[in-house]
Structures are given as C-alpha cells and as structure tokens.
Structure 1
Amino acid sequence: MVPDAIPALKAQQPGKDVLVEQPAYDLIELFFFAYRDFVSDPDRILDEYGFGRAHHRVLHFVSRQPGLTIAELLDILRITKQSLNRVLKELIEKDFIESRMGTSDRRQRLLFATSKGHDLALKLAKLQTRRIMRALSDMDPEAKETVSRYLLSLIDPDDNAHVKQLVFGPKKT
C-alpha cells in the first residue's frame, strides 16, 4: 500500500527546503529497488559485451547527441576524465563510438555513435522505455508530465536549467 502522505515531511513552500523530521525510508528504498530493476535489463545485455553502466551512460548520451565534445560529456556525467577515458577507449576500440577532430578547433574531439553503437543504445533505451510505459499505463494520462516534473525537482536547482536543455532542447545534428 502506498501512503497518501508521508508524515516525515513538514509542509513545503515552493522554492524552499523541506524540513525533515525522519528519513523517508519507504521512498528511499523504493528508489533503490526501482533503480535496481530499471538498469537490470540493460545490465544483462551490456554484460554480453563486457560493458557496464558507465559504458551505457556514455553510449546513451553520445548516441542522443552526435558531435558531443568530451568536455560536454564530462559535464553531463560528472565523472573524472580518467574514468571517461577508460570507458571511451573500450567503446572506440570495439567500434561503438568514434572520435573525430573538431572542424573549427582541431584539438577538439567530437564523439559519434557508430551504427553498431546507435543500435545498442536504441535497444537499451527500448528496454527501459517498456518498463517506464508499463509503470505509466496504470496511471492517469497526465502521469508522464507529473513524473517528469518530479524527477526534475530532484535535480540540484543550479543544474536544473542545464538538464532541461539536454533532455528537452534541440539535439545536435
């Protein structure tokens, strides 16, 4: 049973921090379990290639934004250059991503998913979309918008506009 209200939270005012009397263990644990299952289908497929979740994230964003620079990808993923280099090297060596020289700045490296990389990214996205749509199918038609607003509100306020632009803004061509 899902509670109508969570007594651990005090009244919230828009734009203000929420005061917490006790941790919302139920929601925290639901997030843990939802994330576990959300990534489980892609994890099984990625394992066949010797890839992990870091590979998935890189492949996802490079496939969605062809021509993404390494600096932009680092900003999106918030990982170290060292971590990215290891994952990117594997994806390039196995022909899932290619790195091209920038047109205006030859020092810049632009990242593109190969057709093989795009196909894998699409396959993983479809698996996760199926899970999301199944969850939304039992809800009101407005649920997708509500869930989107909720997820955006979980993102740090100073990064919210940037994430909105990445998710909802025009894609690179």
Structure 2
Amino acid sequence: MGETTRGGQALLFLTDEQLRRGIEAMYFAYRGFTADPDRILEERGLGRAHHRAIHFIHRSPGATVGTLLTLLGVTKQSLNRVLRTLVEEGLVVQRIGTSDRRERRLHLTPEGEALERALSDAQRERLRAAYRRAGPAAVAGFREVLEAMMDPELRHHYDVTARKGEP
C-alpha cells in the first residue's frame, strides 16, 4: 500500500486490485462469520433475516417495528413475515406501546434470548479468535474502517447501541 505525506497528513493510495482483494476478503469473512449461526438457525427452519431481527431486538428491547425497519433496511412486508415467524416460534413478543397504542414494541422471550445467546456466542468466538490473531492495532483499524463505511443514519444507531453497553 502506498502511503505518502502531503502537508503533514498521511494519504493512502490503494490500487483497484488491492480494493478488489479487500472486497473479496469481506465476502469470505462474512461467509465464515455467518456459518456457525446459519447451522443453528437451519435446525429451527430460520434464516439470516430472522437472525438480524433477533440481534437488534436483543440490543434494543422494546424497539418499535419502525425502528427495526430502519436498522434492517427491509420492506415492511418482509419484516412482517420475519416477525410473524418469530412470534409463532415463541421467540419474540409484541407489546402495545404505552404512550402510543399504535406502536408495537418488540421483546425477546426467554427462548428468544437463549437463541440469541447461542448465535452471538458462535460469532463472538470467531471474532475473538480473529482479534487475538490480528492484535490490538489491527482490531482498532478494522473497527475504524467498518465505522467509516457506515451510512450516517446507521452510524447514529450504531453509536447509540455502543453507548448502551459495549465500547
């Protein structure tokens, strides 16, 4: 990677091939990152959309359907299918909002919490092993890259959830 300094500021120049390799690495890393949860979900007849919904409901108990729509970036029809399945499977409950009765507030059931824990444990183990192998500087750099790639609206949601518990 070519790095030069202009006016005291380090600039990074990457070739198209280096960027392609980064894209490819992200695809393969994502495949590995989702492999273990996919096996757990498959046993229950669920998929990645269910996993993402469970993850964000866990991170923001009582979130509205509207908030979940924003976080997941899916259509209302698609989310309703996912939520219907999660409710039928006893993993999620919908409660009427206290200040606005039109709102549906989403919460994981104890069974949903157990499934979320199993899915997250698998991903945490993979991430923990990769972080240990790469070292602290690489971990900080990786997080910086991921955060820089986020759309501003989603970055705001990410920052809010980070303040709730994890650095």
TM-score, normalisation: structure 2: 0.86
Moved more, 101-110 or 149-158: 149-158
Name the residue aligned to 1:117.
Answer: 112
Structure 2: distance between partners of 1:10 and 1:57:
40
How many angstroms does 1:160 deviate by? 2.4
Q: Any stretches of 5+ residues in structure 2 without a counterpart?
A: 7-11
Identity score, percent: 40
Q: Which has the higher strand share?
A: 2
Matched with 1:169 is 163
Give the RMSD, CA atoms, in angstroms.
2.4
**Deviation for aligned residue 1:11:** 8.7
- Once residues 11 and 164 of structure 1 are traced to their aligned partners in structure 2, the CA distance between those partners, rounded to angstroms, is 31
| SS state at 1:138 partner | helix
In 2, Cα distance between equivalents of 1:26 and 1:131? 21
- Comparing 156-165 with 48-57, which one deviates more in the overlay? 156-165
Q: Which amino acid aligns with 1:125?
A: S
CA offsets 1:68-101 (integer angstroms, 9 cap, x no match): 1000100111110000000000000110000001
Task: Select which of 140, 143, 160 maps to 1:145.
Answer: 140
What CA distance in whole angstroms lies between the structure 1 residues aligned with 2:91 and 2:117? 12
**TM-score, structure 1 normalization:** 0.83
Q: Matched residues in 2 for 1:72 and 1:145: separation?
A: 28
Q: Which residue of 2 aligns with 1:38?
A: 33
CA shift in 2, pair 1:56/1:25, >3 Å: same
Structure 2 residue 45 is matched with structure 1 residue 50: yes
Distance 1:10 1:21, change over 3 A: farther
How far apart are 1:158 and its partner, in Å?
5.0
Match of 1:27 among 5, 18, 22: 22
Please list every run of 5 or more consecutive structure 1 residues that lacks an aligned counterpart in the other structure. 13-17
Higher percent of residues as helix = 2
Deviations 1:9-68 (A, max 9, x none): 9999xxxxx987635221111111000111010001100110000000001111121101
Greater Cα shift, 100-109 or 138-147: 138-147
Aligned residues: 160
Q: Which amino acid aligns with 1:57?
A: R
Amino acid corresponding to residue 26 of structure 1 in structure 2? R
- Counterpart amino acid of residue 146 in structure 1: G
Which residue number in structure 1 is paired with residue 54 of structure 2?
A: 59
> In terms of mean alpha carbon deviation, does 66-75 or 136-145 score higher?
136-145
Distance 2:120 2:89 in 1: 20
